[in-house]
A and B are shown apart, each in its own frame.
Chain A
Amino acid sequence: MANALLEMRGITKVYPNGVVANKDVEFSLREGEIHAIAGENGAGKSTLMKIMFGMESPSEGGLYIRGEQVKLQSPQDAIDRGIGMVHQHFMLVPSFTVAENMVLGMEPKKGVGFNYAEAVRLTEATARKYNLSVNAKAKVEDLSVGMKQKVEILKALVRGAKILILDEPTAVLTPQETEELFHELQQLKEQGHTIVFISHKLKEVKAICDRITIMRGGRSEGVFDTKEVTEQEISRLMVGRDVVLKYDKSDLPYGKPVLAVEGLSVSDGQGKALLSGISFSVREGQIVGIAGVEGNGQTQLIEALTGGLRGVGGSGSVQVKGKDIRELDILDIRNLGVSYIPEDRMRQGSAGEASIADNLISTRYRQKDMNKGPFLHGSRIAALASALVEEFKVRCSGPQQPIGMLSGGNMQKVVVARECSTNPQLLIAEQPTRGVDIGAAQFIHQKLLELRSANCATLLVSADLNEILELSDSLLVMYEGQIVAYFDNPSAVGEEELGLYMLGINRQDKEQTGRAAYHV
């Protein structure tokens, strides 16, 4: 390890809300290599990279450049030490030209003025030097995504970056653009730059990286030469199961289909398909799981089911109990008996400053039993809130405590309590146990199974394979907006096999995936 350019030793990062994002992570970067950090969402890649770029400081552990310990207080410190970063969400000023974006913060001067000609010259010179062609005078808002990324790379290079961190750089690119990027990265490597490449796309990692550090659950699972590991091995390390959950599931026959999605397709502005030809059904008493690496269309699918894509067209149908809901508003959809546990409990799932009781009634305060003439039925609401707090074992000082004061797990229990206690006929559960301690997670799982016994149809979207394999009666895998696999006995599916579908290495044929839609 003597020739390590940058090393991170024993990095642990605990966020103020108690989330442990990195635990004892070791990372070492050799000069002149392209080094991948691979892992699922939530594996701690982003945090590690933020620490590397001075955006976060580690709770424990240190960062060493050429063996010398350094403390990075800000991105500027990192820039000064030759570290550059290309963020996933571009850090560009849209109305500025490429040249203006390039020199922001280090503007060339002429007298008191800004020397734009020099900025253009510098941009063009840098672009030539690294063989990355850009139009220095074009406005950034008019550029394609691939071009913007080039500008970001040049921005880092012009600031003297020798180490370049790229955060999921291909996530927004077309295949052609990706190829071009790889070519550029190879050239940079030949010119002596060192590149950290964050990704969960194994093909890409295999294609251009020399070494790979695999992360899972905030820990590093080891460093490998990419030549020496197979995609299968990487996939196993990335998506392994840690604790095996076991639940007793009653064996009841499914009822009628409650949710039926038929040929749903939606695309974004660049013509990139977000969802294409999605068909599946969820029946009474059935839990259908959707597995997949995040960003493969799950979000858009959920939006289409919960009123979020109202008025934006697309093709295909989404029916709940035989009624097409694509143009219904949220209230109408909920009135059909649909409950929804959202992915983000802070943004959508709760009103932080409001009390637990207020949070519990938000989807049912209109019901007759909650009202007394024009007034809310205070005593019934209080009784309901106390009962739910007790039933769901929410640890709090009482139903009047603001929900924002609770821990993540207890907050999530409140969300789950609200959504599960209205006798839903269709429950859409999106990452229902994310960032929740194991106890609360198991409790939530039990509740989902209870609803299943009560004949509720459940669509479960989760990045947690334990959860999805154990709870689901049948399982869909999404990759790039499509259903690439369907299993009707998920507990028999190995995570390794699943990983191959999730990462796009394997896919089933149409006939197999078509079985998901056997409501027709």
Chain B
Amino acid sequence: MNSLLNVILTTDFAFSVLRVTTPILFAALGALISNRAGIINIGMEGIMLVSALAGVIVSAYTQSAWVGLLGAVLSGTLIAGILAFFTLKFKTHIILGGVAINMFASGGTVFILYLLSGDKGSSTSLASKVLPSIDIPLLQDIPVLGPILSGHHILTYFSILSVLVVYYLLNRTPLGLRIRSVGENPHAAQSVGVSVVRIQYSALLLSGFFASLGGAYMSMGYLSLFTRDMIAGRGWIAIAAESMGRSTTVGTALTSLLFGAADALSNALQVLKIPAELIATLPYVATVIGLIIYAVSETRKKNKKLKATITK
């Protein structure tokens, strides 16, 4: 046990929690926005994968990490746009649409990677760029906090900033108000002239935008190259985090952090001989349990209400 505490109670561990939380947090925020507009985007994994690859390719060809980031974000948002087009225009089932996006991404990225680099496993032959890490002056000199909070990848900081942005967007802007109204009562939104379809388009594009930041982080920060299936379930964890966080910005951010910690812990726990494979299932187990608790309490509430309403 001591050895575990020795691992966890270090600034390195806290630092790594933020590091692994970043992609989950981005995608969870994306999932949050589309869910609030009433559409479940399960294509997160696929969008992240595509943008991770796009970031590598564009940065390799332009030799600019920033243009690479732009490429990643544009391509991820484009994928979300395709999903939106099919589901909102052609009425493709949103879940099957998400399945299609994931299928497309897992093979399509390898396909493109192979065409460009002749390698199906990773992008080692592409001289891609990474985005910088940043030391924050003053903060970095504070003991304990400094080593935990300073020196992170720029997108890690951006992900924290994004929590505030998404919170502001959803709760303090006209668009946010409309997104929430469309998710909660589309008829009400429609009746005052809010175009439900247009709002859902925006929400899906935004979810693609945030997911692709997570994807870009994976290949231009977390690692410095693209490898096949490198998202490795982070998109699903993000969906789980959003669900556990009960579709609130704060809840989603905290659950993402929790799941990030579980991820970081899985390395630490190996010291205790607790297998990483099982630790990796924790977010999903937690989500199922959370879902059950929620569903049971909802059913109880409904029954009680019905009883109260009818017997009284």
Contact = CB atoms under 8 A, between A and B. Distances in A.
B193 A93 contact: no
Q: Name the interface size band of chain B.
A: 20 to 34
A174 interface: no
A322 interface: no
Contacts of B308: 269
B307 A312 contact: yes
Interface residues of A, number: 37
B173 A113 contact: yes
Given A92-B188, A93-B184, A74 B174 contact: no
Contacts of A75: 190-193
A192 interface: no
A313 interface: yes
B306 interface: yes
B307 A79 contact: no
B310 A114 contact: no
B141 to A, nearest CB: 35
A155 B190 CA distance: 14
Contact of B189 (A74, A85, A104, A266): A104
Contact of A114 (B172, B184, B188, B191): B172
Given A93-B185, A112-B173, A269 B305 contact: yes
Nearest to B303: A311
Given A75-B190, A93-B181, A94-B185, A109 B311 contact: no
A91 interface: yes
B3 interface: no
A75 B307 CA distance: 38
Contact of B193 (A74, A95, A116, A269): A74
A319 interface: no
B309 interface: yes
B195 to A, nearest CB: 9
B188 to A, nearest CB: 4
DSSP majority for the B interface? Answer: helix
A105 B310 contact: no
A85 B193 CA distance: 13
DSSP majority for the A interface? Answer: loop
A309 B310 contact: yes
B185 A269 contact: no
Interface in B135-187: 168, 172-174, 176-178, 180-181, 184-185, 187
Interface string B293-312: 00000000001011111111
B311 A91 contact: no
B180 A93 contact: yes
Contacts of A96: 177, 180-181, 184
A313 B177 contact: no
Indicate the member of B177, B189, B307, B311 with the most A CB atoms within 10 Å: B177
A94 to B, nearest CB: 7
A95 B184 contact: yes
A314 B310 contact: yes
A474 to B, nearest CB: 29
A351 B176 CA distance: 40
A29 B187 CA distance: 27
Question: What 3 pairs between A and B have smallest CB-CB spacing?
Answer: A269-B309, A313-B311, A76-B193
Interface of A: 74-76, 79, 85, 87, 90-96, 100-101, 104-107, 109, 112-114, 116, 155, 159, 266-269, 271, 274, 309, 311-314
Interface of B: 168, 172-174, 176-178, 180-181, 184-185, 187-194, 303, 305-312
23 contacts: A79-B193, A91-B188, A91-B192, A93-B180, A93-B188, A95-B184, A96-B181, A101-B188, A104-B177, A104-B188, A104-B189, A105-B193, A113-B173, A114-B172, A114-B173, A116-B172, A159-B192, A267-B309, A268-B309, A269-B305, A309-B310, A312-B310, A314-B311
